[in-house]
Structure 1
Amino acid sequence: MALAKILLVLEWVSFITGLCALNKLGKEGRAIIYFLGVVVLSETVGILIRYYADPHYMVRYNKTWFSMMFPFQFSSLLLCYYKTTRFAYWRIAITGFGGILLFVFMLQLLTGNLTEVNTFNYTLGAIFVSACSLHYLFELMNSEKIEEVTRDPFLYISIGLLLFYLGTLPFHAMRMYLYETHREIFWVYYYLFFGFNYFLYGIITFAFLWAKKK
């Protein structure tokens, strides 16, 4: 819980910093603020569930809540990259990514499987966001405004998202297997998972503070 509380503080700091820097981010930045808003809502409610929910149902409620929140987090990130890309073909690809995530989520909803965190949906979302991050970095490196790249907040946000999702994807994909068969590896990766989270929200906060007004 101590690690989770530290993470929650960092998320709120990023969210509040983003709100204060919104005029520097332009209209594209609103999707990032939406993403951070969903994150702080998810984590705050998650901690409240741990504190106040009936212990017999706490785990079930927590899994259901995050199963519903993950699609909103990924959709906000995809929306951000949709708004920032200059290429029509990539907008079509991002729309396809969003459609796939929505389809998988609807299947999960219709099958009544929200009480279990859908690792497949999370894996797809992480892959799609990582692809968008890589494509955005590619666009920046080939931009005519290359001299202003270091003041672009989405450069740092994309690097943070890319490292976070690539670093934590194996943990989410194999967490139950590791917990049941390799408990010592599970706990090492568990602490690394929080480290990746701290890095992500730290670099997002830095990006907001360092951003040059558009």
Structure 2
Amino acid sequence: MTEFQEFAQKSLLWAEGLAAVIALFHYNRLKGQHWKFFVFYLVFIFLGEAYGKWGSFVHFTKAQYYNYLLMPIQFIFFYWLYAAKSLGKPKLFWIISILYLLSFIPNELYFAKSKIVFAFNYTFGCLILMLLVIMEYYKQITSQEILNFNKNKMFYINLGITLSYIGTLPFMAFLSLLVKYKEIWDMYFSYFLLSVSVMYILFASSFIWGKQSS
């Protein structure tokens, strides 16, 4: 890795920790709302990533830990936050969650299980998330509160998801191919590391500037 990539990788966990701390600081204001689960999520992800970095893997591999636990929880949580809560479509949440979980079947049958990222179901999960992001943008644009977008928690979350999950989708989907082109791979890997940190900073910003009643 380049010096910048090493710095960005080390900064990533700090960004996750910062988001978790800020979320916990605002917990008392949110404990009567569904946003309290976003606090739990950020704390869980920080602890989960810390374990992924420093924990021991005896009864399961690091790849299994990420592919069968950490990543599915991330996708399903955001499906719930977008579809069930922000868009008010709980049935949509169940449908897309089931479809996402079913996408593990092709991985089990046709793809290698030793990779940290299962390209097929990660790509499928991101495509579903991208659909929800577009629906959320449409909701925000057509809302009467469009002029107060900076007070909308989902504005910060949606922007963070766009920059990270959606912005790095081609990189994650074609990872094995891009490795052959070092210059492109380095550039996109640097963006991946930076975008994840920015995403968590935006998550933290949603607690600071977003309306508590949103």
Which of 10, 29, 35 matches 1:29?
35
Number of the residue aligned with 1:130: 130
Higher helix share: 1
1:12 pairs with 10, 17, 24, which one?
A: 17
Answer whether contact 1:35 1:77 (CA < 8 A) is retained.
no
Tell me by how many angstroms 1:151 deviates. 0.6
Contact 1:10 1:201 in 2 (8 A): yes
- CA distance, structure 1, for counterparts of residue 197 and residue 87 of structure 2: 31
Q: How far apart are 1:127 and its partner, in Å?
A: 1.5
The answer for unaligned runs of 5 or more in structure 1 is 55-59
Query: 2:49 corresponds to which letter in structure 1?
Result: E
SS of match in other structure, 2:143 = coil
**Partner Cα distance (1:141, 1:173) in 2:** 29
The one of 34, 41, 50 equivalent to 1:44 is 50
Partner of 2:165: 165
Conserved 8 A contact 2:8-2:193: yes
Other-structure match for 2:99:
100
CA RMSD after TM alignment:
2.8
Task: Give the letter for the 2:114 counterpart.
Answer: T
* Partners of 1:14 and 1:204 within 8 A in 2: yes
For residues 50 and 184 of structure 2, the distance between their equivalents in structure 1, rounded to whole angstroms, comes to: 28
Name the SS for the 2:168 alignment partner: helix
- Gapped regions of structure 2 (runs ≥ 5): 1-5
**1:84-127 deviations in whole A, cap 9, x for unaligned?**
23554xx3333221111112236646889643331111111111
SS at 1:27 equivalent: coil
> 1:39 is matched by which residue type in structure 2?
I
Indicate if the aligned counterparts of 1:108 and 1:114 stay in contact, CA closer than 8 A. yes
TM-score by length of 1: 0.82
1:1-214 aligned within 5 A = 2-22=7-27, 23-24=29-30, 27-49=33-55, 61-68=61-68, 69-88=70-89, 91-105=90-104, 108=107, 114-116=113-115, 117-179=117-179, 181-214=180-213
TM-score, normalised via structure 2 length: 0.82
- Give, in whole Å, the separation in 2 of the partners of 1:7 and 1:125: 22
What secondary structure does 1:19 align onto? helix
Count of paired positions: 205
Distance 1:114-1:123 versus aligned 2 partners, 3 A rule = same
Q: In the aligned structure 2, how far is the partner of 1:44 from the partner of 1:13? A: 13
Residue 136 of structure 1, CA deviation:
1.6
Structure 2 vs 1, CA of residues 201 and 142 (structure 1 numbering), >3 Å: closer, same or farther? Answer: same
C-alpha distance in 2 between matches for 1:133 and 1:25: 25
Deviation at 1:137, TM superposition (A): 2.2
1:200–1:40 distance in 2 versus 1, CA, 3 Å: same
Percentage identity across paired residues of the two chains:
22
Contact 1:25/1:211 (8 A) holds in 2: no
Provide the C-alpha distance between the structure 2 equivalents of 1:178 and 1:156, rounded to a whole number of angstroms. Answer: 30
